Amino acid sequence: MGAGVTKKSGGGGRRRHRGKSAAMSEINVTPFVDVMLVLLIIFMVAAPMLTVGVPVELPDTAATAMPNEAEEPLTITMTLDGLLMIQTTEVAEGELIPKLKAIAAERTSDKVFLRADGGIPYARVAQLMGALNAGGFRNIGLVTDTEGPTFGGSGG
């Protein structure tokens, strides 16, 4: 690997440098390419595992995505079964507001993403939004799937 040694040929009548060797100035890039391909495969396998994974059927809308921020967003999920999750941890309804207050005290942002199943009645989602507000989170983003129907009824 790496640099090797080559022998210079005399090429002329006088041979002053008989048997002297010079360093080869070529770089073997094969090990570098091998390492990069292995890293690429590792990142391709690991990237899908980095998302919050609570299965929810989100409603479809024509809204655009929100811009990313430096702090990892807090995600609250409400499933069709009525389960409440903070990130991926299940929380009882009675414990939601105290836990939200404790989390809000540690965070710099009051932004929270609400993921609610599309089959949940609107009144239930509004109650959850009230609980988020009471817990100290006043900047609530509703998470939906993009490319859904617009208000006029046409597809996105």
Q: Angle, nearest 10°, between helix axes 93-106 and 122-134? A: 40
Q: Residue type for 103, please?
A: I
Domains, the chain, ordered by start: 16-49 (no CATH), 53-156 (3.30.420.270)
In this structure, what DSSP letter does residue 51 have? Answer: S
**pTM for this entry:** 0.53
How would you write the pLDDT of the chain (156 residues) with one tens digit per residue?
A: 555 555 555 555 555 555 667 777 888 888 889 999 999 999 888 887 776 566 777 777 777 766 665 667 788 999 888 889 988 889 998 888 999 899 888 888 888 899 988 888 889 889 999 998 888 888 888 888 777 667 666 555
